[in-house]
């Protein structure tokens, strides 16, 4: 298509937009037609079927504004065959220069790459769904869409795409096999198509999205009207066997070198088009990336997320009961102990996981796994059986009512001293800037058995302005008592583009014990509230929006005595060039319930039952993320318990797109405490080198120096995706003691897995 014709189409689309209402969820649909010819997935859209199909268009910006037609038009068509739904998209582009595509690695960062993204809700409930995304270099990203619009891009499955570049446009064809997704046999699905035109600095959507809301939320979607409801996908079984060989040595304890050969498999069995059974036997997760270390100056451990494929599909059904400080189920309890360089795997013998939709309103989940005994712990940890059952009912339009049961049973010798065996909570959360959030934690004592059951009600309105949760959970264990074994809470949030406010309260009984969950601090009540206001600018020169944010929260004993309080005030500035600036102040109050060394160096501890309060100030700035050189800088300075703390963070990213990316992240903490308490200078440095030689060949090296844990860690990972969801991995890792740089441990792993459709 020549430039004159492209410009004419754009002018006509502008005229159409000015004469018609903007695309809204209630007023826009796409009439789906079956393909009457074979389609070659080459990105060219040259088959005659594409000219016969209706075209979706009139994309509306949601950045930098939310009420203007996109600068460069985007059009899409959808058809289907017996085996797949096929989407063709044309992205027009009239600005000189190459597209911004920073990497050839799968699961790219959506905000940092030119791309087009399709969001499909095949259940027609505007709650959960799937997303498939493509860059102009045909780099793919797929993910699971959650109720709040969040996307879990850890999920992996088979689908196909190709891209063609023409004059003033690029086009793609996307083929999504019915066997790769779950869906109901209904005649309407929901769909949203987003485009990040980063070169022109415009983000747009087929269905209009107000500023301040997640565009990936399925509330902002139109309808696909099927001419005939999609049939069940038929026999749908995938076997994913693996072979792995490894060699390693623990130098620190002077243990002999160990070589191992292992094999196992995963399987995916479609019970129906919307219900899936996952099976695993002797799984191996050696290729999973290492956890990113952080400097821990809190009284508690750090939380890291689940990355293992077996646990990911419908993960929200299992893992999001309760609140963050009181989850009845935390999948990293199964098969993992410790974190960072102290992390070790506990062998999983086998597991089964059933999850999905039944009809239009019900969702179910069931999990059962057996782990072998752990002989690497200080005390023998016997074999365990873990079980989870969840049933969920959609009520009203998008709200949910669910019941959950979580259980753990010892399968070992009853003579083992179970009370001496402990597990540490592990995991990680990040804020919107990618900074680690330290969270409360505690050690869990394994008893002969432990059960947790409860109810959750999740509120979600059609317009996405109200969101809430109410839950009540109880635990059961061998002591047989019933006092203080509950956890309950409520949360409510109201959101509009200019304003949002939230409130939460949570109370956890002293004896509530969720050993397969995450309950960091029993016997306390937590509360919090916050509000934010956005001023959207109209001059279009420098700022896109700015505004204040105020947060307040605290922790009480269950007798209503004050333990902790914190308050913060921040003011943020979002610039049109994608840079961001934030300044703020924090006030903290802590009443220690146990002794604690705030220097993080195992020095003299502050006494329990002492109270401390302090103020601090913070600054954060990130440069234009479209550039090949990006800087992230933060400074925090002020009080800290009985002394002072200065914190500085620096992140540098250098790109040679789309082949190479180098990152250097560093953090420095200076802790000044009065005598006789310890001072500290703590460093955390993490360079990362990422080489993407093609869309299927990746190499990553990650080095982490942590002066607090006196460890220098290195991890290099080579991945060759030789077929869809079939990989070869070669992973080398070692750790050193920073004093003298003596080797702690070293290992190399070779692994191959293959997706076999039966």
Chain segment 112-133, per-residue pLDDT in tens: 999 999 999 999 989 889 999 9
- Confidence grade of residue 661 (pLDDT, cut at 50, 70, 90): very high
Kindly give, in sequence order, each residue whose CB lies less than 8 Å from that of residue 163, ignoring residues fewer than 6 positions away.
43, 134, 135, 136, 137, 138, 170, 171, 172
Total domains in the fold of the chain: 2
Instruction: Count the residues in the chain.
Output: 758
Kindly tell me if the per-residue pLDDT of 518 is higher than 50.
yes
Kindly give, in sequence order, each residue whose CB lies less than 8 Å from that of residue 643, ignoring residues fewer than 6 positions away.
598, 671, 672, 673, 674, 677
Chain segment 398-407, per-residue pLDDT in tens: 999 999 999 9
* pLDDT over 70, % of the chain: 88
Kindly tell me if the per-residue pLDDT of 92 is higher than 60.
yes
Q: In whole angstroms, give the CA distance from residue 136 to residue 507.
A: 50
The answer to whether residue 687 sits within a structural domain is no
- Confidence grade of residue 480 (pLDDT, cut at 50, 70, 90): confident
Residues 211 and 360 in one domain: no
283 vs 440, more confident:
283
- Residue 322, CA atoms < 13 Å, CB-side half-sphere: 29
Asked whether the beta carbons of 144 and 155 are under 8 A apart, the reply is yes
The token pair at 98 is: 């190459």
Chain segment 530-556, per-residue pLDDT in tens: 999 999 987 667 999 999 999 999 999
The pLDDT assigned to 243 comes to 95
Per DSSP, helices labelled H in 20-127 are: 48-52
Number of H helices, E strands in the chain: 3, 44
Last residue of a domain, one of 500, 533, 566: 533
The answer to whether residue 317 sits within a structural domain is yes
**Cis peptide bond upstream of 655, omega within 30:** no
- Confidence grade of residue 432 (pLDDT, cut at 50, 70, 90): very low
Q: In whole angstroms, give the CA distance from residue 217 to residue 209.
A: 9
The answer to whether residue 758 sits within a structural domain is no
What are phi and psi for residue 304, nearest 5 degrees? -120, 145
CATH number at residue 177: 2.60.40.1190
Kindly tell me if the per-residue pLDDT of 290 is higher than 80.
no
Last residue of a domain, one of 533, 559, 576: 533
Q: Which residues of 35-65 are buried (b: 16+ CB within 10 A; e: fewer)?
A: beeebebebbbebebbeebeebbbbbbbbbe
Q: Look up residue 328 and give its DSSP letter.
A: S
Which of 685, 710, 705, 521 lies closest to 602 in space, CA to CA?
710
Kindly give, in sequence order, each residue whose CB lies less than 8 Å from that of residue 540, ignoring residues fewer than 6 positions away.
64, 576
Q: In whole angstroms, give the CA distance from residue 725 to residue 58.
A: 35
Q: In whole angstroms, give the CA distance from residue 141 to residue 398.
A: 26
Q: In whole angstroms, give the CA distance from residue 326 to residue 520.
A: 7
The answer to whether residue 264 sits within a structural domain is no
Which residues pair with residue 671 across a beta bridge? Answer: 645, 680
Strand residues in 359-509 grouped as ranges (E)? 362-371, 384-395, 399-410, 422-424, 443-445, 449-460, 466-476, 486-495, 499-508
185 vs 723, more confident:
723
Which of 306, 287, 293, 324 lies closest to 152 in space, CA to CA?
306
Q: Hey, how many other C-beta atoms are within 10 angstroms of the C-beta on 597?
A: 19
Q: In whole angstroms, give the CA distance from residue 114 to residue 535.
A: 27
**Cis peptide bond upstream of 448, omega within 30:** no
Strand residues in 206-333 grouped as ranges (E)? 222-225, 237-250, 258-272, 275-281
Residues 447 and 301 in one domain: yes
The pLDDT assigned to 22 comes to 67
The pLDDT assigned to 308 comes to 81
H or E stretch including 3? helix 3-19
The answer to whether residue 568 sits within a structural domain is no
Q: Hey, how many other C-beta atoms are within 10 angstroms of the C-beta on 299?
A: 18
Strand residues in 232-375 grouped as ranges (E)? 237-250, 258-272, 275-281, 336-337, 344-345, 348-358, 362-371
Residues 16 and 109 in one domain: yes
The pLDDT assigned to 291 comes to 62
Query: What average pLDDT does the segment 233-255 reach?
Result: 89
The pLDDT assigned to 565 comes to 95
Q: In whole angstroms, give the CA distance from residue 734 to residue 247.
A: 12
Kindly tell me if the per-residue pLDDT of 107 is higher than 60.
yes
Query: What average pLDDT does the segment 753-758 reach?
Result: 91
Q: Look up residue 112 and give its DSSP letter.
A: G
The pLDDT assigned to 234 comes to 80
Residues 220 and 110 in one domain: yes
The answer to whether residue 140 sits within a structural domain is yes
Chain segment 584-613, per-residue pLDDT in tens: 999 999 999 889 898 888 889 999 999 999
Query: What average pLDDT does the segment 323-344 reach?
Result: 76
Q: In whole angstroms, give the CA distance from residue 377 to residue 186.
A: 52
Q: Name the residue range of residue 182's domain.
A: 3-225
Q: In whole angstroms, give the CA distance from residue 232 to residue 178.
A: 8
Residues 55 and 147 in one domain: yes
Query: What average pLDDT does the segment 467-487 reach?
Result: 91
Q: Which three-class secondary structure state does DSSP give residue 577?
A: coil
Last residue of a domain, one of 533, 564, 587: 533
Q: In whole angstroms, give the CA distance from residue 211 to residue 613.
A: 37
Residues 321 and 202 in one domain: no
Strand residues in 576-710 grouped as ranges (E)? 580-591, 611-622, 629-640, 643-656, 660-672, 680-694, 697-706
Q: In whole angstroms, give the CA distance from residue 382 to residue 610.
A: 40
Q: In whole angstroms, give the CA distance from residue 408 to residue 721.
A: 37
Asked whether the beta carbons of 654 and 631 are under 8 A apart, the reply is no
Chain segment 339-382, per-residue pLDDT in tens: 544 556 788 999 999 999 998 899 999 999 999 887 655 445 78
Q: Which three-class secondary structure state does DSSP give residue 420?
A: helix
Kindly tell me if the per-residue pLDDT of 304 is higher than 80.
no
Q: In whole angstroms, give the CA distance from residue 35 to residue 181.
A: 20
Mean pLDDT of the chain: 87
- Of the listed ranges 153-162, 398-407, 629-638, 643-652, the least confidently predicted one is 153-162
The answer to whether residue 500 sits within a structural domain is yes
The token pair at 689 is: 């080198």
Residues 378 and 489 in one domain: yes
Asked whether the beta carbons of 674 and 681 are under 8 A apart, the reply is no
Q: In whole angstroms, give the CA distance from residue 144 to residue 366.
A: 19
H or E stretch including 125? none
The pLDDT assigned to 537 comes to 86
Residues 317 and 209 in one domain: no
Query: What average pLDDT does the segment 714-732 reach?
Result: 94
The answer to whether residue 120 sits within a structural domain is yes
């Amino acid at each position: 298509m020549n430039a004159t014709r492209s410009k004419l189409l754009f002018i006509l689309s502008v005229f159409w937009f000015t004469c018609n209402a903007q695309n809204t969820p209630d007023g826009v649909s796409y009439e789906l037609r079956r393909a009457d010819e074979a389609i070659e997935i080459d990105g060219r859209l040259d088959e005659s079927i594409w000219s016969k199909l209706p075209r979706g268009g009139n994309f509306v910006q949601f950045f930098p504004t939310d009420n203007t037609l996109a600068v460069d038009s985007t059009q899409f068509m959808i058809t289907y065959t017996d085996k797949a739904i096929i989407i063709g998209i044309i992205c027009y582009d009239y600005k000189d220069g190459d597209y911004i595509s920073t990497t050839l690695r799968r699961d790219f960062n959506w905000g940092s790459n030119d791309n087009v993204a399709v969001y499909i809700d095949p259940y027609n409930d505007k709650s959960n769904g799937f997303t498939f995304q493509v860059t102009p270099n045909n780099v793919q990203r797929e993910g699971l869409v959650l109720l709040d619009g969040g996307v879990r891009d850890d999920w992996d499955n088979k689908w196909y795409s190709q891209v063609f570049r023409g004059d003033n446009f690029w086009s793609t064809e996307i083929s999504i096999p019915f066997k790769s997704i779950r869906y109901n046999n209904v005649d309407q699905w929901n769909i949203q198509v987003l485009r990040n035109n980063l070169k022109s600095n415009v983000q747009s959507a087929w269905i209009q999205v107000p500023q301040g809301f997640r565009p990936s939320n399925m509330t902002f979607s139109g309808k696909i009207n099927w001419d005939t409801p999609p049939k069940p996908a038929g026999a749908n079984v995938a076997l994913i066997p693996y072979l792995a060989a490894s060699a390693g040595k623990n130098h620190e304890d002077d243990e002999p070198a160990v070589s191992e050969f292992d094999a196992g498999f995963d399987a995916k069995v479609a019970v129906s088009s919307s219900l899936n059974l996952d099976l695993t036997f002797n799984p191996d997760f050696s290729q999973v990336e290492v956890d990113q270390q952080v400097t821990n100056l809190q009284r508690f451990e750090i939380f890291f997320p689940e990355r293992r494929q077996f646990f990911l599909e419908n993960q929200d059904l299992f893992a999001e009961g309760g609140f963050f400080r009181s989850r009845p189920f935390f999948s990293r309890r199964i098969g993992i102990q410790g974190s960072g360089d102290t992390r070790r795997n506990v062998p999983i013998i086998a597991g089964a996981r059933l999850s999905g939709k039944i009809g239009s309103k019900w969702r179910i989940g069931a999990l059962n796994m057996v782990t072998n005994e752990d002989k690497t712990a200080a005390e023998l940890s016997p074999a365990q059986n873990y079980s989870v059952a969840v049933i969920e009912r959609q009520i009203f339009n998008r709200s949910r009512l669910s019941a959950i049961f979580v259980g753990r049973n010892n399968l070992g010798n009853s003579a083992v001293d179970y009370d001496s065996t402990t597990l540490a909570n592990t995991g990680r959360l990040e804020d919107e800037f990618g900074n680690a959030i330290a969270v409360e934690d505690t050690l869990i004592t394994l008893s002969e058995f432990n059960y947790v059951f409860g109810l959750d009600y999740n509120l979600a309105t059609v317009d996405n302005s109200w969101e809430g949760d109410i839950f009540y959970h109880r635990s059961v264990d061998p002591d047989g008592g019933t006092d203080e074994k509950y956890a309950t809470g409520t949360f409510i949030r109201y959101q509009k583009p200019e304003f949002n406010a939230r409130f939460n309260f949570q109370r956890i009984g002293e004896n509530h014990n969720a050993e397969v969950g995450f309950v960091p601090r029993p016997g306390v009540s937590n509360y919090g509230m916050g509000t934010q206001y956005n001023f959207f600018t109209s001059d279009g020169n420098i700022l896109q929006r700015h505004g204040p944010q105020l947060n307040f929260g605290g922790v009480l004993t269950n007798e209503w005595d004050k333990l902790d309080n914190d308050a913060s005030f921040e003011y943020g500035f979002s610039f049109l060039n994608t840079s961001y600036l934030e300044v703020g102040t924090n006030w903290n109050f802590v009443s220690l319930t146990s002794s604690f060394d705030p220097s993080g160096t195992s020095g003299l501890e502050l006494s329990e039952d002492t109270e401390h309060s302090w103020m601090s100030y913070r600054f954060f700035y990130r440069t234009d993320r479209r550039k090949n050189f990006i800087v992230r800088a933060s400074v925090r300075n002020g009080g800290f318990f009985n002394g002072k703390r200065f914190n500085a963070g620096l992140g540098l990213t250098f790109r040679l797109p789309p082949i190479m990316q180098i990152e250097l992240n560093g953090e420095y903490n200076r802790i000044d405490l009065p005598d006789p308490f310890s001072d500290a200078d703590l460093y955390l440095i993490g360079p990362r080198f990422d080489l993407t030689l093609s869309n299927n060949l990746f190499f990553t090296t990650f080095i982490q120096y942590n002066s607090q844990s006196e460890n220098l860690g290195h991890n290099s990972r080579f991945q060759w995706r030789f077929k869809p969801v079939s990989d070869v991995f070669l992973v080398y890792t070692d750790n050193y003691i920073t004093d003298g740089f003596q080797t702690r441990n070293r290992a190399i792993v070779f692994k191959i897995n293959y997706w076999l459709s039966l």
